[in-house]
A and B are shown apart, each in its own frame.
Chain A
Amino acid sequence: MTVTQGVFIILAGLALAGGVGMVALRNLFHSALAMVLAFFAVAGVFVLLESGFLAVVQILIYVGAVATLILFAVMLTRDIMGRKSLTQNSQWPLSLLAAVLLFGALGVVLVRASWPTVTTAISGDPIAALGLTLVGPYGLPFEVASVLLLVAMIGAIIFAREARE
């Protein structure tokens, strides 16, 4: 067990703990914080995959924007104190079974498949290659993504606006 593998196991444990806490905690604010823990652990996994840019983007966008947005939404839609509410709905045993079965199916595929992996080191500057790919061969999806973000921003503003009358 090398140090890298030990670090991966710690990060995987944190990610899974964050995920399980997210679906199991009663307090919605606490489950959002557990989700933030999972996001940080996923950023660590990106660092292990030698995708440093992805790790930074993950923290900036997921923790900095998406998680903050979710926390604001949790605070703005606070249930009235005293109203006893269950967190799981009535089909949670079937959902648990479905999730476990899916994990079993994925696990079987993962164990039996042989992926065409190469373990060469990355040559050159990966961030420069990323930038050149985004504005070169993948320039069109890049521009379309910016249009998508603009449209999403307009849509979110319109949806969340106060009713006008």
Chain B
Amino acid sequence: MIPLSWYLFLAAALFCIGLYGVLARRNAIAILMGVELMLNAANINLAAFGRYVAPNAVLGQVFVLFNIAVAAAEAAVGLALILAIYRNRDTISVEEVDLLRG
């Protein structure tokens, strides 16, 4: 049996890698990829806790399904926004999209 903490460590590591991707990348699509990785880490956490705390209640899996649906919707809208920005400003580097800067 795999100890629960192994899954949690993997999820924590993936979350921190995704967090670094969100904070440190210039490309807006790379930032979105980091967000998706963080959502995947949360899904691993949810599924692991669901399996190890209440195996027959399938609550963890239900939550993961909703999380995947929300992540897919957010990826679609975010990428559409990035495409619109690219079409307008010809760049997707977040450092060059500073129209609101004072």
Chain B: interface residue count, which band? 35 or more
Interface of A is mostly: helix
Residue of A nearest to B5 (CB): A110
Among A69, A103, A115, contact of B12 (Cβ-Cβ < 8 Å) = A103
Among A95, A115, A116, A163, contact of B24 (Cβ-Cβ < 8 Å) = A95
Q: Which B residues form the contact surface with A (CB < 8 A)?
A: 1-2, 4-10, 12-21, 23-27, 29-30, 32-34, 36-37, 40, 43-44, 47-56, 58-62, 64-66, 68-77, 79-84, 86-87, 92-95
Inter-chain contact A70/B21, CB cutoff 8 Å: no
Inter-chain contact B81/A159, CB cutoff 8 Å: yes
Residues in chain A near residue B48, CB distance under 8 A: 49
Q: Which A residues form the contact surface with B (CB < 8 A)?
A: 4-5, 8, 12, 15-16, 19-20, 22-23, 28, 31-32, 35, 38-39, 42, 45-46, 48-51, 53-54, 57-58, 61-62, 65-66, 69-70, 73-74, 76-77, 85-89, 91-92, 94-96, 98-100, 102-103, 106-107, 110-111, 115-124, 126, 129-130, 133-134, 138, 141, 145, 148-149, 151-153, 155-160, 162-163
Q: List 6 A-B contacts (CB under 8 A).
A: A76-B83, A77-B86, A103-B12, A122-B55, A133-B59, A158-B80
